[in-house]
Amino acid sequence: MIKSLNILIMGMMLWAFSAKGQDMHFSQYLSSPSNLNPALNGLFDADYRFVLNHRNQWSSVSIPYTSYSGSADMKLRIPYFKRELFGAGMLINRDKAGDSEFGTTQLALSFSYIKRMNADSTLFVSLGMSGGFTQRSLNYEKLTFDNQYTGDFFDPSVGSGEVFTNTQFMYFDFSSGINLLYQGSGPYGFNAGFSLSHINRPAQTFFGNENITLSRKGLFHLSGSYRLNKSIQILPSLMYEKQNTFGEFLWGSSVKISQISKKLDARSFYLGFHLRAADAYILSTGMDYNNLNIGLSYDVNTSGLYPASHGKGAFEVSLIYLLRKFKPQLAQKKFCPPYM
């Protein structure tokens, strides 16, 4: 049977996505550490960390692309390893895109090893790995086909004339990463890491073609902190990822303003500006409220889609909650900077 034009176009789009496409991504990439690098699991100033992310994109152009992510990770302290820590975490992602409701559901578990590199606990190296299952799905009932056009009008009661054998498939995915953290007693600190995703290159197909695989993705991230005074910190950061022929480069900075007033419960406020090369500029704000960090951002589209989007890109919100199970002991050095 000769496939309709819509099926041909859809198939080409699916092939492009599965063979070379980019994964789900967030503009607030530092606020989604488990998606950024598995080596970041357990690397924070608390015992437990809970993270929620939501992104809504292209609502002004088409059916919105929606992404949800939730993760939880924790420190593991083992008595026989005095200079080491371990981290463990779980990640759940859900993404839905376009008319066909092309969906991605991911469940992954991660583990990290964190090594203290000097006596005063200012330099740490961590290694991480993540593995889990991902399900892809399509809703063919949301699509239209040429057989349903009678010549004068569209008749949804007419059969599509197409036979679909698979509406979903599942695969195992494996990733790993490395991270370097420095935070001394001086005014500056930095964090740098690299992760490699889809190491096993899982098959991506609705039509039984096992030769179509998901390309490996390399991601580099770098963030820093510089304290101007007791109230103001500069937090520059950048992220570059590449998957086959597709790449994304995002860079910018936030300003953290602390101790504005003793009457305010919020510990600090954030204002940020970032650029995604050839695509958008990103305005962000946020605040710390006790152990809760809230982040909001908006992507202003500047790409070739601007005539259709009129600059309307994506809205994003992030929530990070830190839980301390045990009262921390007094120490001269902090294990991790607050912005982590």
* pLDDT computed for residue 127 by the predictor: 98
How confident is the model over 217-260, as pLDDT tens digits?
999 999 999 999 989 999 999 999 999 999 999 999 999 998 76
Label residue 152 by pLDDT band (50, 70, 90): confident
Q: Where are the domains of the chain?
A: 5-323
b/e burial code for range 263-281 (CB count within 10 A of at least 16 → b):
eeeebbebebebebeebbb
Quick one: three-class SS letters along 33-51?
HHHHCHHHCCCCCCCEEEE
Say which CATH topology domain 5-323 has.
Answer: Porin (2.40.160)
pTM: 0.85
Residues 218, 220, 222: CA angle, nearest 5 degrees: 170
Q: What are phi and psi of 168, to 5 degrees?
A: -160, 160
* pLDDT computed for residue 196 by the predictor: 98
Q: Among all chains, which residue has been given the structure tokens 């005074």?
A: 229
Query: How far does CA 152 lie from the centroid of its chain?
Result: 46
Q: Among all chains, which residue has been given the structure tokens 């950024």?
A: 36
pLDDT of 335 higher than 60: no
